[in-house]
Amino acid sequence: MGWRQFKAMVRKDVVSELRTRETVVSMFLFVVLAMIVFHYAFTVSGGGRLSFYTGGMLWVVFVFGALLGLNRSFAHEKDDGCLDGLLLCPVDRMTIYLAKMTANLIFLGAIQVVAVPVFALFFASGRIATHLPAFLALVVLADLGIAALGTLLATITMNTRSRDLLLPIVFLPLVIPLLIAAASGTSALLSGAAGAPSVLGRLAFLLVYDGVFLVLAYGTYDVAIGE
């Protein structure tokens, strides 16, 4: 029954999104535009070494892009006034969390599938291809952390005034550890400087990070989503 409910919730969010395409298109446009802005911001006369920053830039763009999507985690429920409808169902609150988190992951992943090649195109990073498995592992673990933390926080902020402003304020400080690990790991891969051990260290860190916030969500979600 839990699985059927989980599938129903994820399907609903994906179908809604496919129909309106509001969230995903906005996220994608933001990500690409941000990359262009960064290119111009960092191109100094004399030719600066952009490659120093590319790993970080990619993740800054993903984190801020993810925020756009996270803000809309419960948009359908809030805008259409049917949060009650969801809460009335005999469903484990944790199942709701996992379904929302999965939907956010799907949207984020969909953006990245297109944005990463664009990134490689703009910044001529052939190295991603050579280190693909490591890069993918990094992306998957980082996305999981962003979705896990972001969905939990979005659940809290959706019931506040100025919820769109509040989510970045609470989310960004908490996501910085993840950002550090993902960005420095990506930079290490792209510049070919660091060896396997340091990337593994970051992957391990991300795994712990994800685990911690998933456990936190498990312990607090009943309270977070409503009495």
- Please pick, from the candidates 48, 109, 117, 226, the single residue that binds another protein as defined by CB under 8 A: 226
- Please pick, from the candidates 43, 121, 160, 192, the single residue that binds another protein as defined by CB under 8 A: 160
Cα distance between residue 196 and residue 217, in whole Å? 32
CB 182 within 8 A of CB 138: yes
The answer to whether 88 contacts another protein (rule: CB under 8 A) is yes
Mark 111-135 as b/e (b = at least 16 C-beta within 10 Å).
bbeebbeebbeebebebbeebeebb
We find the least distance from the C-beta atom of residue 156 to another protein, in angstroms, to be: 5
The answer to whether 161 contacts another protein (rule: CB under 8 A) is yes
DSSP H or E stretch at residue 181: helix 163-191
- From the number of C-beta atoms within 10 Å of its C-beta (0-12, 13-18, 19+), residue 79 rates as exposed
The answer to whether 197 contacts another protein (rule: CB under 8 A) is no
* Closest CB to another protein among residues 26, 120: 26
The answer to whether 4 contacts another protein (rule: CB under 8 A) is yes
The size of the interface with another protein (CB under 8 A), counted in residues, is 58
- Please pick, from the candidates 50, 110, 137, 180, the single residue that binds another protein as defined by CB under 8 A: 180
* Furthest CA-CA distance within the chain: 64
SS3 53: coil
Number of helical H runs and strand E runs in the chain: 10, 0
The answer to whether 43 contacts another protein (rule: CB under 8 A) is no
We find the least distance from the C-beta atom of residue 94 to another protein, in angstroms, to be: 13
We find the least distance from the C-beta atom of residue 118 to another protein, in angstroms, to be: 27
CB 190 within 8 A of CB 55: yes
- Please pick, from the candidates 16, 26, 51, 191, the single residue that binds another protein as defined by CB under 8 A: 16
* Closest CB to another protein among residues 16, 51: 16
Among the listed residues 210, 78, 85, the one whose alpha carbon sits nearest the alpha carbon of residue 138: 210
Q: CB under 8 A: which stretch of 3-11, 38-46, 116-124, 126-134 binds another protein? A: 3-11
Residues 116-155 that bind another protein (CB under 8 A): 152-153
Return all residues near 104 (Cβ < 8 A) that are at least 6 apart: 66, 69, 70, 73, 146, 147, 150, 151
Contact residues toward another protein (CB under 8 A) are: 1, 4-5, 7-9, 11-12, 15-16, 19-20, 76, 79-82, 84-91, 152-153, 156-157, 159-163, 166, 169-170, 173-174, 176-178, 180-181, 184, 201-202, 205, 208-209, 212-213, 216, 220, 223-224, 226-227
